[in-house]
Amino acid sequence: MLIVTTDAINGKNLEMLGTVKGSTIQTVNAFKDIGSGLKTLVGGELGNYNKMMEKAREVATERMIEEANKLGADAIVCMRYATSAVMQSAAEVMAYGTAVKFV
């Protein structure tokens, strides 16, 4: 599935099929959360949270692609990510865009 952040694909005429999205809520386990909390005392990158968010983006993207495939899409344009904190140590990631078919 071709995914772009632009609203057009050079050399392609597009038929808009509709908005597609995928989302997930991810968290780290309590022990990793405690370790990350201690890390905030000395500063630096929070590796466990980076891994969590990377996995969340991957899952959300795959779910968005599944929706696009159900519509018979060839690509997704105007793709974006949105995140929000659901509770302490848990985040929702949403991937969304417009499913299109090449004409």
Two structure tokens written together for 35: 């370790």
Q: Are 20 and 98 in contact (CB under 8 A)?
A: yes
Structural domains for the chain: 2-102 (3.30.110.70)
Residue 44 has what pLDDT? 61
* Choice among 1-10, 33-42, 53-62, 75-84 with the minimum mean pLDDT: 33-42
Q: How many other C-beta atoms lie within 10 A of the C-beta of residue 6?
A: 9
Q: Give 2 or 47, the one with higher predicted confidence.
A: 2
* Choice among 3-7, 32-36, 51-55 with the minimum mean pLDDT: 32-36
